[in-house]
Amino acid sequence: MTISEVSKRYGISQDTLRYYERIGVIPPVHRTKSGLRDYTEEDCGWVELAGCMRSAGLPLEALTEYVRLCREGDLTIPDRRKLLLKQKDILARQLRTIQETMERLEYKISCYDRAMETGTLIWD
Amino acid sequence: MTISEVSKRYGISQDTLRYYERIGVIPPVHRTKSGLRDYTEEDCGWVELAGCMRSAGLPLEALTEYVRLCREGDLTIPDRRKLLLKQKDILARQLRTIQETMERLEYKISCYDRAMETGTLIWD
DNA sequence: ATATCATCTGGAGTGCACTCTAAGTCAAGA
DNA sequence: TCTTGACTTAGAGTGCACTCCAGATGATAT
């Protein structure tokens, strides 16, 4: 699979795919004899994981560290588990923050709804 | 209220408070005769709102635009409502993304849990 | 009055995550 | 074979949201 195909498949730019590989967010990608990237399904799996984690806002650093541990072998399984647990906790906190902010927005929107009906803006 | 008190109260650095005011994320803050910032409760309300929206990851641009509309008067109420609705939709999408990523992380963590018990890592 | 600490402004610097550029190599069709 | 378009690298540039700095002024305690 070429880089342009992978780019389209996951909605990640070619530049970003090369960048991710360069800094270790994904492991080195398989190449053709002439040096062109030729993504295997496994390579694609790493791209998809990176895209998933990034879309949730997790930092590239956490991904590079995870990839590093995976490449080091089974002895790092407890460390990998701990790393993922930490990122999950970060997301759980972010989830609550977003929920609170959404409620806040919904309240303000409802005030504007009423204001547009009655012509009077009543606040907080 | 001094800037250092507001900084402590909301966990936002003094530099950031000045920056937010400068670019219009909050309206101009009341000053003492000698030019020092002297936050009223209303000023604090804007700071708190900015902190809330930022903690959820909304861009400063949306906040400056909202503040600009508020300062323009009641005619902008429909625009303000629309703006908040748009930000709420962005958060709703982000919420789903985070939930999906958390499920993904939970699955991987459960695989590692099993691997640490049985000594065998079974994937996807 | 003086020393010390907080605050002020304008502008420069930082970190993150891309994103673009230049100059070169590779591959497929006419 | 030639041309066109995709791909390669290293390195520079961008946008966002701060964050820091220098030099000046204000406020407070001795």
B11-49 tens-digit pLDDT:
999 999 999 999 999 999 999 999 999 999 999 999 999
Percent of chain A with pLDDT over 70: 100
Residues in Cβ contact with B76 at an 8 Å cutoff, skipping those fewer than 6 apart: B69, B70
Structural domains in chain B plus CATH codes: 3-118 (1.10.1660.10)
Helix (H) / strand (E) element for A59: namely none
Q: Is pLDDT of B124 > 90? A: no
**Residue B81 touches partner A, C-beta closer than 8 Å:** yes
Which backbone phi and psi does A96 adopt, to 5 degrees?
A: -65, -40
Compute how many other C-beta atoms are within 10 angstroms of the C-beta atom of residue B46. 20
pLDDT in tens, A29-44: 999 999 999 999 999 9
Of A92, A99, A109, the CB nearest to B84: A109
Record: contact B109-A85, CB cut-off 8 A: yes
The full DSSP string for B40-51 is -HHHHHHHHHHH
**Model confidence, pTM:** 0.93
